[in-house]
Chain A
Amino acid sequence: MTNEQTPQIGGTAGGQDLARTEGTVPARFEDPGLPEHRLRQSDVDPAAAKRAERQVVAMFAISILGTIGFLLAYFLVRPGETVASMRISNIALGISLFLAMFGIGAAAVHWAKTLMSDHERQEARHPQRSDAATREAALDVLRQGAEDSGIGRRGVLKGAVVSAVALAPLTVAVPLIGEVGGDWNVSKFRHTLWERGKRLARDPSGEPIRAADVTIGSVFHVIPENLREEGGSHWIEEKAKAVVLMVRMDPRDLKETPERAGWSYDGIVAYSKICTHVGCPVALYEQQTHHLLCPCHQSTFDMSDGAKVVFGPAARPLPQLPITVDDDGYLIAQDDFDEPIGPSYWERLR
C-alpha cells in the first residue's frame, strides 16, 4: 500500500484538462495512462532478489514440512476413543494441513510479486465484427437453407412444426405444476392435534400430566398424548404445530379476561410454544416475572396476562390452549386452539 500506486490527480499533463470551469464537464476524459513503472528492490539489488528467493523457498519448505507433519499426524496421532485424543488429532491434522496448503499459496504469491516480471502491458482488443464478404456469405447459407426447407411455401408443414414445438414443453410443465399444486388445502394450518378431551403429555416421554404434579413455578413442555400414533408418518410436523408450554402460578397473579375465564385450571395456563412473529419455539420462561422470552428476536410475552406481547416484534399474543382436568385428575384440552398458531400467513384474517 504505497502512494505511488494511485494515479496522482493533477500530477500529469492530462489531469490539468479536467479542471472544471463554471460547472461544465469535459466532453471526453483523458486517458491518464499507466503510472510510471517503478523498479522493485529485487530488480535493482541482486542481494534483495536472492533474499526474496530464499523467502519463497522457505515458504515452500513450510508447506513440505506441513505435508510431512500431516502424514505423521495421520499415522501417529490417531483420534482414539476419548474426546481429548480426538481434539489433539483434529488440531494436529488441521494445523499441518493449513501449513501444507497455505505455504504453497503464500510462496506462489510472494514469488510472483518479488521475482516474476511486473512490467505493465497493454493488449488491444480484436475487432469482433467480421468483414463484409464473410457476413454476406453467412447470410447466403441461411437463405439457402430456408429455401430448401420450403417453409415459406408449405403452410401445413409450418403449422405442424410450430404446434409440435409449442406443445412439447407440456410434458415437463404439467407434471411439475401438478405436483406443486397437489395440496392447496391451507385449512390444515388452522388445526392441530388438540381436541376436546385430549390429555396433555410431557415432551419427550409422552406421559400424561396430573394437575396436582404441576407445582407453582413449574414449567412443563407439553405435547398431545399419543402424538406418534395419531400423527402417523407426519407426527413430527404435528408436534411442531401442537407443542405447548404450560406453567402454574399463584392464581392471584393471573389476569384473565371474562371470555377466557374457564380456560385455565387453578393457576395452570397453557399457551402455544410457537412464536407469532416468525415461528421460533418460545420457551425462555422467567418464573418470577412470568415473562416468556423468544430466543430469536426477543419478543416477550406475559404469561400472567393472556400471553400479551410486552416487548419485541411479535404482533399478537400466543394462542391459548383451553384446559381442564378429567375424572382421573389428568389435565386435558377443552378444545383445539381457537385461532391458527404461529406466524401470520395470507389466508389468516388478522
Chain B
Amino acid sequence: MKAIAARRHHRFAPVVLLALALVLTGGLYAALAPSAEGAAAPTTDDVEAGRALFVANCATCHGVNAEGRDNNPTLIGVGAAAVDFQVSTGRMPMQLEGPQAAAKPPQFNREQINQLAAYVASLGPGPAVPSAEQVDPALGDPANGMAIFRTNCAMCHGAIGAGGALSEGKYAPSLAQSRPTDIYTAMLTGPQSMPVFNDANITPEEKRDVIAFLEEQRNGSPGGTTLGSIGPVGEGVWIWVVGMGLLIASAVWIGAKSS
C-alpha cells in the first residue's frame, strides 16, 4: 500500500485510475448482463411420458396434479405455450428461490419439453404453442411491430428490446437472443412479472410484427457501438467516464509544461 500511496501523484496516476475504472465497469457489465438461450422446433406429444417427467421434476413445487401449493402457482389451464416458454428457456425447473427465475441452458431436450407441454395442456384448456408460420419474422411487418412494441413493451424491455430493471431485483430480460417462439409465447402467457398480451390485445399478426421488429434489431446499429442500448444511463456513464476523462486528460496535457 505504501508503494501505491507514494506514487499517487505520478503523472500517469489519473490514466491508470481511469483504465481501472473502465475495466471494473466492463467486468461488472459482463458479469451482470442478462442472457438467454434457445432450442429447436416442436413435434408430437405423449401425455403419459409428460406426466412421468412432471411428477419427477415439477411436482415438488407445483403439486402432484399440478394444483399448486405454498404460493407456487397451479399449472391447470396455463397451456402448452407456458410450459414451452418456461422449460425451453431454462427458467423452469427453477434453480433457486429469488426475485425472478433466470434463463439458463434448458434441462430437458425438445422431445421431453413437448411431452411436458402435452401433459400440462391435457389438464385444462390454455394457449397452444404457435406454429412456425405464426412466428416467422420474414412474414411480419417490422414497422407496425415497432409501433406495437413502443406502446406495449418498450417501457420495460427498452426501445430495441435490450432489457431493463424493475423493482426489488426483478428485471425485464434482453430479447436480443430470444427465439421467435419464445417471444410469442411470452406475450401470450405473461411469464413471471410480465403481463399477458392475449390475442385480443395484440393479435397474432401483430405479435409476428413485433418478432419481425426485434429480428431487425439483430442487424445491429448503423452508428458504431451501441453501448448496450440500455438508454440514457448507460450512455451517461460512458460520456462521464470516457468522454469527460479524455477531455480532462487533454486539458492536463495542454496545461502541463514540457519537461
Q: Does A94 contact B (CB under 8 A)?
A: yes
Among candidates A203, A215, A216, A281, residue contacting B155 with C-beta atoms closer than 8 Å: A281
Query: Would you give the 0/1 interface string for A31-64, flagging 1 where the beta carbon is closer than 8 Å to chain B?
Result: 0000000101110000000001000000000000
Q: How far, in angstroms, from A114 to B257 measured CA to CA in the complex? A: 9
Among candidates B9, B194, B201, B258, residue contacting A287 with C-beta atoms closer than 8 Å: B194
Query: What A residues does B170 contact at CB under 8 A?
Result: 286
Docked-complex contact A87 and B222, CB < 8 angstroms: yes
Q: Does B5 contact A (CB under 8 A)?
A: no
Query: What A residues does B9 contact at CB under 8 A?
Result: 1
For residues 1 through 23 of chain B, which have their beta carbon under 8 Å from a beta carbon of chain A?
9, 11
Among candidates B164, B196, B253, B256, residue contacting A215 with C-beta atoms closer than 8 Å: B196
Docked-complex contact B155 and A283, CB < 8 angstroms: yes
Query: What B residues does A1 contact at CB under 8 A?
Result: 9, 11, 252, 256
Query: What A residues does B258 contact at CB under 8 A?
Result: 40-42, 52, 113-114, 118
Query: What A residues does B224 contact at CB under 8 A?
Result: 87, 90-91, 94
For residues 66 through 117 of chain A, which have their beta carbon under 8 Å from a beta carbon of chain B?
79, 82-84, 86-87, 90-91, 94, 109, 113-114
Query: A116 to nearest B CB, angstroms?
Result: 10
Among residues of A, the one whose C-beta sits closest to the C-beta of B203 is A205
Docked-complex contact B222 and A90, CB < 8 angstroms: yes
Docked-complex contact B196 and A87, CB < 8 angstroms: no
CB-CB under 8 A for A287 and B193, given A87-B222, A213-B200: yes
Docked-complex contact B155 and A288, CB < 8 angstroms: no
Query: Would you give the 0/1 interface string for A272-283, flagging 1 where the beta carbon is closer than 8 Å to chain B?
Result: 000000000101
The tally of CB-CB contacts under 8 A between chains A and B is: 106
Among candidates B167, B198, B252, residue contacting A298 with C-beta atoms closer than 8 Å: B167
How many of chain A's residues touch chain B, expressed as a range? 35 or more
Query: What A residues does B195 contact at CB under 8 A?
Result: 217-219, 247, 285, 287
Docked-complex contact B155 and A2, CB < 8 angstroms: no
Q: Does A193 contact B (CB under 8 A)?
A: no
Q: Does B151 contact A (CB under 8 A)?
A: yes
Q: How far, in angstroms, from A94 to B223 measured CA to CA in the complex? A: 10
Q: Does B254 contact A (CB under 8 A)?
A: yes
Q: How far, in angstroms, from A247 to B195 measured CA to CA in the complex? A: 9
Q: Does B156 contact A (CB under 8 A)?
A: yes
CB-CB under 8 A for A287 and B196, given A84-B219, A87-B222: yes
Docked-complex contact B196 and A218, CB < 8 angstroms: yes
Query: B217 to nearest A CB, angstroms?
Result: 9
Docked-complex contact B201 and A220, CB < 8 angstroms: yes
Query: What A residues does B193 contact at CB under 8 A?
Result: 286-289
Q: Does A221 contact B (CB under 8 A)?
A: yes
Q: How far, in angstroms, from A131 to B8 measured CA to CA in the complex? A: 56
CB-CB under 8 A for A118 and B196, given A217-B190, A218-B201, A298-B167: no
Interface residues on chain B, number (Cβ under 8 Å): 36
Q: Does B152 contact A (CB under 8 A)?
A: yes
Docked-complex contact A87 and B220, CB < 8 angstroms: yes
Docked-complex contact B259 and A41, CB < 8 angstroms: yes
Among residues of A, the one whose C-beta sits closest to the C-beta of B197 is A218
Query: What A residues does B222 contact at CB under 8 A?
Result: 79, 83, 86-87, 90
Among residues of B, the one whose C-beta sits closest to the C-beta of A286 is B193
Docked-complex contact B197 and A221, CB < 8 angstroms: no
Query: What A residues does B220 contact at CB under 8 A?
Result: 83-84, 87
For residues 157 through 212 of chain B, which have their beta carbon under 8 Å from a beta carbon of chain A?
164, 166-167, 170, 172, 190, 192-198, 200-201
Query: Would you give the 0/1 interface string for B40-68, flagging 1 where the beta carbon is closer than 8 Å to chain A?
Result: 00000000000000000000000000000
Query: A39 to nearest B CB, angstroms?
Result: 11
Most buried by A among B11, B172, B224: B224
Query: A151 to nearest B CB, angstroms?
Result: 56
Among candidates B155, B156, B167, B219, residue contacting A83 with C-beta atoms closer than 8 Å: B219
Q: Does B221 contact A (CB under 8 A)?
A: yes
Among residues of A, the one whose C-beta sits closest to the C-beta of B194 is A287
Docked-complex contact A286 and B166, CB < 8 angstroms: yes
Among candidates A87, A281, A283, residue contacting B221 with C-beta atoms closer than 8 Å: A87
Q: Does B147 contact A (CB under 8 A)?
A: yes
Query: B21 to nearest A CB, angstroms?
Result: 19
Among residues of A, the one whose C-beta sits closest to the C-beta of B13 is A1
Q: Does A240 contact B (CB under 8 A)?
A: no
Q: How far, in angstroms, from A3 to B239 measured CA to CA in the complex? A: 31
For residues 242 through 259 of chain B, which have their beta carbon under 8 Å from a beta carbon of chain A?
252-254, 256-259
Query: A308 to nearest B CB, angstroms?
Result: 15
Q: How far, in angstroms, from A216 to B192 measured CA to CA in the complex? A: 13
Among residues of A, the one whose C-beta sits closest to the C-beta of B195 is A219
Query: B227 to nearest A CB, angstroms?
Result: 14
Query: Would you give the 0/1 interface string for A1-17, flagging 1 where the beta carbon is closer than 8 Å to chain B?
Result: 11011000000000000
CB-CB under 8 A for A217 and B221, given A204-B147, A287-B190: no
Q: Does A190 contact B (CB under 8 A)?
A: no
22 contacts between A and B (CB under 8 A): A2-B257, A5-B257, A40-B259, A83-B219, A83-B220, A83-B222, A84-B220, A87-B224, A109-B253, A118-B258, A221-B151, A281-B155, A284-B156, A284-B166, A286-B193, A287-B190, A288-B192, A288-B193, A289-B167, A291-B167, A300-B167, A311-B167
| 8 closest residue pairs by CB, A with B | A213-B200, A219-B195, A86-B222, A83-B219, A217-B196, A283-B155, A286-B193, A113-B258
